[in-house]
Amino acid sequence: MDGQRLQPKELTPLTRTCCILFLLPGTLNAKTFKNRCMQTTLTQTDVRGNEDCLYLNIWIPQGKREVSTNLPVMVWIYGGAFLLGGGQGANFLDNYLYDGEEIAVRGNVIVVTFNYRVGPLGFLSTGDANMPGNYGLKDQHMAIAWVKRNIKAFGGDPDNITIFGESAGGASVSLQILSPKNAGLIKRAISQSGVSLCSWAIQRDPLTWAKKVGEKVGCLSDNTTVLANCLRATDPKALTMAYHMELLSLPGPLVHTLSITPVVDGDFLPDMPENLFANAADIDYIAGVNDMDGHFFAGIDLPAINRPLEKITASEVYNLVKGLTADRGERGANLTYSLYTELWGDNPEQQVMKRTVVDLTTDYIFLIPTQWTLNMHHQNARSGKTYSYLFSQPSRMPVYPSWVGADHADDLQYVFGKPFATPLGYLPKHRTVSSAMIAYWTNFAKTGNPNSGNSDVPTTWPAYTSEGGYYLEINNKINSNSVKQNLRTPYVNYWNSVYLKLPRVTNTS
């Protein structure tokens, strides 16, 4: 790996790595997951994983006698802030979060998960040809290309590939369908709680962060050739540990600390994402968010929102708004604060104030850019159809206040069928949610229409248009009344027109 560190991998090594089962005599007992890519531990005090990590996993829905043929293929891209994660996901009682069995069997599809490089090894960039970045995105692309070439041998249809992902994985899905490098590879796509137009999905000043990482590992140079060569020669563990996400004593909102991310490199991403939607004109697309996706982030920024006995103040809310809107200065902060507090009255209750904070972070980090993305996809579409959803099954975390809805990543357990795989941990209502999501997702993978396929669905989900603004609200009470219109329209209109037209403030320090 030393000669290829902080560089894109060639397709040949990936093919060899993934296809080793064809080179060994007999049958490979493929029941254990390989190493995830090198990354910090959750506590960010050590390194886990390995540079030898570009492997993929395949689940096929077939009995002992029959062999499936020409099945739809669903390729999963995991999230983790472009810093963490692996193709198997977290392990709970020997049941991995991203185990594809329930989706494969219930939806009669092939499920593929894979690893890609994360953190500095996956996304560090000098902003020029010396270290262009996007290595993790290129790993994802190579995995999709491998599936395209080889999935027929596993009973899959190489012309019917759906990519789906969540958070940074959802943003990755969005970036993959916008990249010209994927022309002809992808038929459909699903972005859960993350799109290419999220503020955190693209690093606009990668050289600054390359220099900061360089300082920590002794690579001190303003010459990008020297800096890149030094970083490539650095011990990969030291390089991985040189950047981590601060969660305490933050100088500003947590979302603004996500810094080692994809870049516009002029190649894989030839332009800013908002200018590339013509590349996705024939790709069917689902995108949506959880109704309190920002709760996790809000809880880091203002911990008192999860403490019933602690109060937050209006000035704390204003300071958070000011931090989120730093690129539009004081005017942006004042307009945004006025919009979100206009229903407070003179003496708002604490629950109202705390929910406002969660709504604000959900909107800014996830919902507003997702609505922008849905509009851009629809407006640029030729044959591609567009669908929007809002996931609102309340969080199952007992330590959260009762008013908390669906937090970030709460949807994953339902998409991957955990209420069926580990039934003792769930109630019948949770199986209702999981069954519906698997049905919609796999129908969409098969036909491009979430309502048509192998699985019955609880209600018809209409396509999204800019005029109608239809979306499906997904929870255990899902029925015909779950089809709604114009999700948070006043806030969407504010952020995507009024706010964007405000003059950008260059010095936000």
Assess whether 167 carries a catalytic annotation.
yes
Nearest to 494 by CA among 350, 321, 305, 271: 321
pLDDT tens column, 80-107: 999 998 888 888 767 888 999 999 999 9
Q: Would strands 110-114 and 56-59 be described as parallel, antiparallel, or unpaired?
A: antiparallel
Round the average pLDDT of the chain to a whole number and report it.
Answer: 90
The pLDDT assigned to 45 comes to 83
Cα three-residue angle 58-391-105, rounded to 5 degrees: 25
pLDDT band at 268 (very low <50, low <70, confident <90, very high): very high
Token pair 């601060």 in the structure block, residue: 246
Token pair for 483: 């089809």
The pLDDT assigned to 170 comes to 98
Identify the H or E element spanning 355: helix 350-362
Q: Work out the average pLDDT over 147-162.
A: 95
pLDDT tens column, 27-57: 667 777 888 898 888 777 888 889 889 999 9
Identify the H or E element spanning 121: helix 119-123
Q: Is residue 16's pLDDT more than 80?
A: no
**Whole-number Å distance between alpha carbons of 404 and 176:** 32
Token pair 């090594």 in the structure block, residue: 13
The pLDDT assigned to 20 comes to 32
Q: Are 466 and 379 in contact (CB under 8 A)?
A: yes
Identify the H or E element spanning 257: none
For residue 241, count CB atoms less than 10 angstroms from its CB and return exposed for 0-12, middle for 13-18, buried for 19 or more: buried
Q: Are 284 and 444 in contact (CB under 8 A)?
A: yes
Q: Would strands 188-192 and 483-485 be described as parallel, antiparallel, or unpaired?
A: unpaired
Nearest to 288 by CA among 495, 106, 484: 484
Q: Write down the pTM of the prediction.
A: 0.93
pLDDT band at 399 (very low <50, low <70, confident <90, very high): confident
Q: Calculate the alpha carbon distances from 28 to 20, 24, 61, 358 in Å.
A: 9, 7, 19, 48
The pLDDT assigned to 104 comes to 94
Token pair for 467: 């005029």
Q: Are 445 and 427 in contact (CB under 8 A)?
A: no
Q: What SS3 class is residue 192?
A: strand
Q: Work out the average pLDDT over 312-340.
A: 96
pLDDT tens column, 164-214: 999 999 999 999 999 999 999 999 999 999 999 999 999 999 999 999 999
Assess whether 359 carries a catalytic annotation.
no
Which CATH number is associated with domain 39-310+367-501?
A: 3.40.50.1820
b/e string for 9-34 if b means 16 or more Cβ within 10 A?
beeeebeebbeeeeeeeeeeeeeebb
Q: Is residue 264's pLDDT more than 70?
A: yes
Nearest to 474 by CA among 449, 450, 446, 447: 450
**Whole-number Å distance between alpha carbons of 359 and 349:** 15
Of the residues 125, 141, 167, 174, only one is catalytic, namely 167
Q: Is residue 454's pLDDT more than 90?
A: no
Assess whether 408 carries a catalytic annotation.
yes
- Across the strands, what pairs with 470? 485
- Across the strands, what pairs with 96? 91
Of the residues 408, 434, 435, 482, only one is catalytic, namely 408
pLDDT tens column, 112-126: 999 999 999 999 999
pLDDT band at 24 (very low <50, low <70, confident <90, very high): very low
Of the residues 291, 293, 363, 411, only one is catalytic, namely 293
Q: Using the 8-state DSSP alphabet, how is residue 156 labeled?
A: E
CA 313 to chain centre: 32
HSE value, Cβ hemisphere, 13 Å, CA-based, for 134: 28
Q: Work out the average pLDDT over 10-28.
A: 41
pLDDT band at 394 (very low <50, low <70, confident <90, very high): very high
Cα three-residue angle 396-172-230, rounded to 5 degrees: 115
pLDDT tens column, 302-318: 999 999 999 999 999 99
User: What are the residue boundaries of the structural domains of the chain, listed by start?
Assistant: 39-310+367-501
Q: Is residue 14's pLDDT more than 60?
A: no
Nearest to 164 by CA among 288, 44, 53: 288
DSSP state letters, 41-95: -TTSSSEESBS----EEEE----SS----SEEEEEEE--STTTS--TT--EETTE
The pLDDT assigned to 23 comes to 37
68 φ/ψ sector (left φ>0, alpha ψ -120 to 50, else beta): beta
Q: What SS3 class is residue 394?
A: coil
The pLDDT assigned to 36 comes to 85
pLDDT band at 63 (very low <50, low <70, confident <90, very high): low
Residue type, 148: K
